[in-house]
Amino acid sequence: MSPDGDDGNDGLSPEKPWRSLDHVNGVRFQPGDRLRLKGGERFRGSVTLEKGEAGSAARPVVIDSYGTGRATIAPRGTPGIAVRDTAGVHVRNLSLVGDGKALREAAGIGFSSSLPGNRRLEHVRITNVDVRGFQNGISVGTEKSAAAGFGDVRITGASVHHNLDAGIAFYGPEFDADRPGYAHSGIRIEKVSAYSNTGDADSDGRNTGSGITLGSVRDAKVVRSVAHDNGSRSATDAKEGPEGIWVYDSTKVVLEHNRSYRNRTGSRVDGGGFGLDNNVSSSVMQYNLAYGNDGPGFLVYSGRPTGAHKDNVVRFNISWDDARKLPEYGGIVAYGTHMKNLDIYHNTVVMRTKGLASAEDSKNRPPALRLRDGMRGVRVQKKIFATDGCIVVV
């Protein structure tokens, strides 16, 4: 494709390119097909792949740029790239820029499934993209009626920023503790930068303004990624706030070698660096750095009496000057209903009162570690906690 092309061309070479994305959406893609957009150029509209237009791991459908630089897809109130009920797709070397309507209603790159049954749609690759101006930069999810979503998903080298709800969001059906199931499996997010995803000041009934959110996933890793300056416009009355990188309704998730800093919350909840939230099991936060967040550096929380929050580990992390806005948290915070078997060890927390508006009030100084009611089988050991006058442990 090229702005200088013609939809009457065969579209098989840079010398005879197509011109419009509307024309592309009238073509049915087959395994091994590639849609190549001229680098440095801007294309109005969106790309949609429907059921039956899939590729495979060996012969994926590829959407990318050619020539010099990235091509830009600029939709009008719609997703930039929408992949529905299919997989075997690579998206790479592209920029996607949303408009005002897309910021409220659409994903920059969205993979969604409405298929029944337990068979996941396998093989998704998103590489070297820049996505901004959408409700979610990249979303991977299922409809409420779908039992299974996507497997073997890799998101690498992406920059997701200035979106409304989240930079990256995985989601699935409502969690059932009696029959736990997870929509997505085999997820790896690496070298992603998620920043300035602002949150929605008008949405006090849901969580907005996070960097990377993982929901309904099994066997997932987030590694060598950065989340910062998210949540600055999240709702002031929200009961759930944003986090830099966090997980819920999931199992066997590893967050390691990441940084999460200067994340904000508009309300009096959350705004932290990393979190293992409701119904998370057999998961690990390790070798991460959190600093300068409004809320806790590392939060482990269960607000639901399901018994599904269990067997998690927080180790070899550093929290430095977290809970800057919300001293009622602390560097590392753990509490929740029916949470069990949590190991917290070999962590370092440095907590200073410098810069805190409430530093004169000793009751409003955040501790290095805060543990609250509702847990059993919690072990804290082999740690370094340093403060300049705050209570060390509450």
pLDDT at 357: 58
Q: pLDDT for 297-327, tens place per residue?
A: 999 999 988 999 999 999 999 999 999 999 9
Give pLDDT, residue 365: 85
- Which backbone phi and psi does 383 adopt, to 5 degrees? -130, 165
What does the alpha-carbon distance between residue 303 and residue 330 come to, in Å, rounded to a whole number?
18
**Percentage above 70 pLDDT, the chain:** 97
Over range 290-298, report the average pLDDT: 98
Q: Is the pLDDT of residue 390 over 90?
A: no
298-302 sheet: strands from edge to edge: 47-49, 81-84, 107-113, 136-142, 166-171, 210-215, 243-248, 272-276, 298-302, 332-336, 369-371
Sign of CA dihedral 91, 94, 95, 96: negative
- Tell me which of 357 and 137 has the higher pLDDT: 137
Rounded distance, CA 62 to CA 66, Å?
12
Tally the C-alpha atoms within 13 A of residue 201's C-alpha that lie toward its C-beta.
2
- Residue type at position 136: N
Average pLDDT over residues 152-159: 98
What whole-number distance in Å separates Cα of residue 348 and Cα of residue 237?
32
Mean pLDDT of the chain: 95
Q: For residue 160, is pLDDT > 80? A: yes
Q: How far apart are CA 351 and CA 320, in angstroms?
A: 6
- Rounded CA-CA distance 338/131 in Å is 39
pLDDT in tens, 8-65: 999 999 999 999 999 999 999 999 999 999 999 999 999 999 998 978 899 999 999 9
Q: Residues 97-123: pLDDT tens digits?
A: 999 999 999 999 999 999 988 889 999
CB of 368 within 8 A of CB of 330?
yes
User: What separation in angstroms does the CA of 174 have from each of 28, 55, 98, 146?
Assistant: 33, 29, 29, 10
Residue whose token pair is 């101006």: 133
The rounded distance, in Å, linking the Cα atoms of 273 and 225 is 12
* pLDDT greater than 70 at residue 146: no
Read off φ and ψ for residue 362, nearest 5 degrees: -60, -25
The whole-number pLDDT of residue 148 equals 85
At 244, list the tokens: 């830099």
DSSP 71-97: EEEE-SSS-SEEEES---EEEEEEEEE
Q: What is the dihedral of CA 264, 269, 273, 275, to 10 degrees?
A: -150
Q: Please list, in sequence order, all residues whose beta carbon lies within 8 angstroms of the beta carbon of residue 45, skipping any fewer than 6 positions away.
A: 20, 21, 22, 25, 73, 74, 75, 76
With cut-offs at 50, 70 and 90, classify the pLDDT of residue 359: low
Q: What is the DSSP letter of 281?
A: B
Whole-angstrom distance, CA of residue 114 vs CA of residue 149 = 8
- The per-residue pLDDT for range 239-270, each reduced to its tens digit, is 999 999 999 999 999 999 999 999 999 999 99
Predicted TM-score (pTM) of the model is 0.97
Whole-number Å distance between alpha carbons of 272 and 125: 29
Distances (CA, A) of 8 to 15, 34, 77, 83, 338: 13, 18, 27, 26, 64
